[in-house]
Chain A
Amino acid sequence: MQSVKYVRDDDKPVAVSDREAHRVIDTSPFVGTWITTNKATRGIVRMEVTDEDGILLIRTFGACSPAPCDWGIVKASVFADGIDSTTGLAFSAVYDFGFIQSDLQAKIKKGVLVVASFNRFKDDSGRANYFSREFFYRDE
């Protein structure tokens, strides 16, 4: 039997013999349009999440005046809630605008999409890299 490498107990499968060769994480919990719970946000106002042939795609809209800034569509990586699970819990995506890079980390918690944003400026504007965290509800 091949030994499985790990760096913490969470990495160890509970039942090795039951592992599937190629797990597919269910992206359905993420799919939809997500609206910020903060109508006065200066960050992200809306996210549109779709699944195309098993690939999760994210379209994000930033708070800009007079209309939201469309960040475009990027692919996301999806993560389960454990190594033996196919239940989608979180996804990550990267937007590289040249002058700023935003690494998004999103997870579902009690039906709310919680999005953490790690924003890194690459220009010489003197602005500080910054972190933000926002909450979104599904637009039914």
Chain B
Amino acid sequence: MDSWRYTREEDKVQAEARLGPQAAIDVSQLLGIWVNTNTKSKGINQLVISRAADGLTVNVFGACDGSPQGWGEIKIDFIYAKNAGSQDLMAFTAFYDFGFMETRLQANMSLGLLVVAGLNTFKDESGRSNYFSREFFHQ
């Protein structure tokens, strides 16, 4: 009998579905260039996701005065499957700290699109409100 701890039924998996420490989530569908479905976006123009020696990286290009500006390549913090017994990729998270602002990216796959939410928190005294963004990208 399994004695795994859980917070909801979704946390439970059958013993045979347990992936084991060496199992990896298949990230192949995530790799490449993701372009905003909204060509007039004032948020993120595109993301470039690449494989690195110790995981995955993402480089985000923000819409700046008519030309994309790279935010810099960072390591993707975590990737997520569609359930606790799955190897099918569903989401990832990454974190940018620009000094004056932090942007936590929480992205998930949906119907072949990459849905990217941004939790944007200002750390300067500019008086701007922290804000939420959500945009859609295709490969």
A interface, CB within 8 angstroms of B: 4-11, 13, 19-23, 25, 42-44, 62-65, 69, 71, 77-86, 89-90, 92, 95, 97, 99-100, 102-103, 105, 107, 116, 118-121, 123-133
Contacts and interface: CB of A to CB of B under 8 A. Distances in A.
Nearest to A104: B106
A123 B43 CA distance: 37
B126 A4 contact: yes
Contacts of A79: 119-120, 129-132
B90 A19 contact: no
Contacts of B131: 10, 79-83, 85, 89
Contacts of B104: 92
A62 B8 contact: yes
Contact of A6 (B44, B64, B130): B64
Interface stretch (B15-23, B27-35, B49-57): B15-23
B106 A105 contact: yes
Interface string B95-139: 010111101101010000000010111101111111111100000
Contacts of B65: 9
Contacts of B37: none
Contacts of B93: 103, 118
Nearest to B77: A120
B98 A7 contact: yes
A90 B118 CA distance: 10
B108 A133 contact: yes
B128 A8 contact: no
A130 B101 contact: no
B7 A19 contact: no
B69 A97 contact: no
B5 to A, nearest CB: 5
A9 B42 contact: yes
B80 A130 contact: yes
A79 B7 CA distance: 26
A126 to B, nearest CB: 4
